[in-house]
A = this chain, B = another copy of it.
């Protein structure tokens, strides 16, 4: 008996020009274009196995080993329905010999290899893995553009996780969303030494969800419209050019300015939305000072910070600077013994706690030293590839079509 099953992993992406605001909340059409870097799946990924079987009684979904309801009319249901429709129209109707698996129910198991506590948006990688696994399951002869449009309707920024490298989500102008999808600006091989350091920051309160937060900004911020119309289009052109030319100075300037501006329009919301805390602000001060020293000597930008809808910092930098940046972070954010284990390799296994150091000329007073645990962990990764088809033996569903481990 043929098993209809596919297993795919998909990457996380972190935006340099931020998506914040929908012009259509049902189709998830954004108020401005955005651009992100896809991070390496060797470090961060969502893995999804999808299976269609005539014996299944209903569509079911397990996330990290726990079953989640697929709400009728919800975004997940919309994506699944759309993929089944494509299977029928593009495959089964045109090639009558193909099995009619669009009529089968499906089981989906998905797993994120990073803890939810890391505060990294898992919906983008998760949705991208889901759509990619269904596309393979259904052997769809459709373009990545088409898949990107469907993923977008599941979770806006998921459309960018369908590509590796540097990815733009073109906002489009059509009311039906047919021209609102992701395109690759450059593959990861074009600029492979762009690394990323994620500083996982401790937070004692639950922030505003990005879905509700961005709509409050659309409704109440008087600055957002200006950002949308007059600021972002130019930044999209400039950062795309910077990526093509491997111009880190421009890339860094725009990335930091756009992170600042996203948080500025969040603050300009009624009531105001804060995602960064004192730890986030201190990491900004460190990166600003680190760059200042280099620029004062006629050098280049050394690093760029960016913050999504939470306090975690993502620092983009050329590979050559990562060790210095980690030393800087260790200097201000003392660590428990093993909490920075992801960066052991940078120091050949030496004791991390003793590795704090400032580059020459660094003004130590730009930030205060924090207590242990203010930065909970560091994740060191780099620009990476798009969704990967995995070997069947890596499937998350067992022979019985149920998750191999319900408590993974």
Q: Kindly list chain B residues whose C-beta atoms are within 8 Å of the C-beta of A288.
A: 271
- The minimal Cβ–Cβ distance linking A251 to chain B, given in whole angstroms, is 15
Residue A314 CB within 8 A of the other chain: no
Residue A230 CB within 8 A of the other chain: yes
- Of B204, B268, B368, the residue contacting A205 (CB under 8 A) is B368
Are B261 and A223 closer than 8 Å at their CB atoms? yes
Q: Kindly list chain B residues whose C-beta atoms are within 8 Å of the C-beta of A227.
A: 222-223
| Stretch binding the partner chain, chosen from A99-107, A171-179, A272-280, A329-337 | A272-280
A289 nearest in chain B by CB position: B271
A271-B288, A272-B284, A278-B277 known; A367 and B205 CB under 8 Å? yes
- What size tier do the contact residues of chain A reach? 20 to 34
A205-B365, A226-B226, A365-B205 known; A267 and B267 CB under 8 Å? yes
- The minimal Cβ–Cβ distance linking A337 to chain B, given in whole angstroms, is 26
Copies assembled: 2
Residue A270 CB within 8 A of the other chain: yes
Are A368 and B260 closer than 8 Å at their CB atoms? no
- Of B231, B264, B271, the residue contacting A264 (CB under 8 A) is B264
| Docked complex Cα distance between A288 and B261 (Å) | 23
| Docked complex Cα distance between A130 and B37 (Å) | 57
Q: Kindly list chain B residues whose C-beta atoms are within 8 Å of the C-beta of A257.
A: 222, 268, 270
Identify the 9 closest CB pairs spanning chains A and B, nearest first.
A226-B226, A264-B264, A264-B268, A271-B288, A264-B267, A260-B272, A278-B278, A223-B223, A222-B231
Contacts A223-B227, A264-B265, A277-B281 known; list 18 others, CB within 8 Å.
A205-B365, A223-B226, A223-B264, A223-B265, A226-B230, A253-B270, A256-B270, A256-B271, A260-B267, A260-B269, A260-B270, A261-B268, A263-B267, A264-B264, A271-B284, A271-B288, A272-B284, A274-B284
Enumerate 19 A-B pairs (CB-CB under 8 Å) in ascending A order.
A204-B368, A205-B365, A222-B226, A222-B261, A223-B223, A223-B231, A223-B261, A223-B264, A226-B226, A253-B270, A260-B268, A260-B269, A264-B264, A264-B265, A264-B267, A271-B284, A271-B288, A272-B284, A274-B284
